[in-house]
Structure 1
């Protein structure tokens, strides 16, 4: 994909240079030293988010983002949302989960087909206990996302949404 982006950028630069000179020349034919690359078959691709597509078009690396419904303040404690500060509260932003003593950067995200609003995420976690890679499955409740189930290593815990939906 990087090669395609580079070739596209070079072609665009060549076209702009030629139009600046006032000529409408055809692209140069490939020489024997540098034969044209054979067209590649389009491989089936995974759907990408608008943010990933925009990043790819800008020549930047794409970055996974949490769907909007998952973003917000959550708390593992039943009464944690009622407190100003809670050691069990965490915030999900576009590309990270920030807890009381740790931060997890989103590395990859996969929508789980046939499981409603469920996603599988890979996170790079930094905490006082060290850096770890975490794999979690997150499931929003069907009732306006008022709770979130977090599954990791075969164990599931529930968190309540603290901010209004």
Structure 2
């Protein structure tokens, strides 16, 4: 989990949970029961465990992941890359630095797990103002950052817990 701050913490960035990844690595299967695929990184694969791009030669797995949402028609499973072995996770307290200038769709969701109309494309090197605008709507409970070209899930963004604000 990473937290971004301006004067107050405005959002929390969450990678795929380490506990979930440990299960996928131990069982060798994804959320649909399909076997994970082993890969050797060519370099640049977005790693959802530590929120950075892979370096050439790193051992990776590719598997189906269902990002956290309440039961709704908008739940979906998509392919994600992570390290094949456990890693320390994100190493920053800000928006993932390797991905700041990567165009993304910030898909906002409400408490029912439905896509919220504040969703938008982010295509600058300053995601914080866009996220602040989206999260300013009290109906938004979470935002999924998604790759524009492939639609793949990257990470979840939420408001900080009230006692952490």
Higher relative contact order (CA 8 A, sep 6+): 2
Which interval holds the TM-score relative to the shorter structure?
Answer: under 0.3
Structure of greater Rg: 1
TM-score w.r.t. length of structure 2: 0.25
TM-score w.r.t. length of structure 1: 0.25
Name the one with the larger helix percent. 1
